[in-house]
Structures are given as C-alpha cells and as structure tokens.
Amino acid sequence: GEFVYPYFRRCIDICHAAGAYTIKHSDGNLWPIMELIAASGIHAINPLEPEAGMDLGEMKRRYGDRLCLTGNISCGYTLSSAPPEVVEQEVRAAIRAAGPGGGYIMMSSNSLHSSVRPENYRAMVAAARRYGRYPLRFSGG
C-alpha cells in the first residue's frame, strides 16, 4: 500500500477533478486490500471473480453503500462450459445478492474470451433482462 496507493489515489483525484467516474479493474482475491480500494474514492470495482473468493453478497454487505459492484458471472466454468440453465441461475443469484438498492452491473467475472460459448453469453444477457428489473423483488427460490 505505501508504494502504490499514493499514486493510485492521485490518479483518482485527477479523474474526479475532471468530472469523471472511476472504476478499478483488478483480478483475483482483493479481500486483503479491499478496504484500501474502497477508501480510495473509486466509484466502482471490477470484475469480482467468484473463483478467487470474491463473494458478491459479502461485497454488497461490506461495500455496497460505497461502491458500484460489477461482474461475478464466471467466465471460467459458467460462461465457457456450463449449460445455459446454470448461466441463468448464476445471473439470478448475482442479481439477488447485489441488485437490491442498485449499484450492481451484471457482467462477466473478467472478460468474454475465446472460450466463452455464444449461447451462454446470450443466456447471460437474457437472464439479466429477465431478472434485472427495478424494483427488485424476489419471491420463492
């Protein structure tokens, strides 16, 4: 933190002075530095990889009042190998965990790389349209 954080914060301050929103992209397990990231003044964090232990519900509880959360739909198994029904389930679970109150952008946990199946991408978009309406109300399962 002592070497990188001051420069990171300076970049964010410059963006804010220009009227820009800021989003931090960082892969992996961010829990050890998440408090520093949240305190930096960024507006959003991306991509929140489930494979790296970035639990979306816990992120929402801890940081949902300060940060827009993005990602968390696995581009590893879910978008590359899972049946479309699993994609829909994961999208619904993500929206349920992070959608209430706003501040969540549903997207891949990293990128849409060459192994992502087009039908799974389409299933992700369809599920987002189906379950991502406000106000979010969930009944049952």
pLDDT along the chain (141 residues), means of 10: 87 96 95 95 95 96 96 95 97 95 93 94 96 66 46
d(CA 64, CA 95): 13
pLDDT of residue 140: 47
Q: Provide the terminal-to-terminal Cα distance of the chain, rounded to the nearest Å.
A: 42
Six token digits for residue 27: 């892969």
Q: Give pLDDT, residue 133.
A: 78
Alpha-carbon distance 89 to 100, whole Å?
A: 17
Q: What is the pLDDT at residue 74?
A: 95
pLDDT at 136 (0 to 100): 58
Residue type for 31, please? W
pLDDT number for residue 40: 95
pLDDT score of 128: 95
pTM above 0.85, yes or no: yes
Compute and round to an integer the Cα radius of gyration of the chain.
16
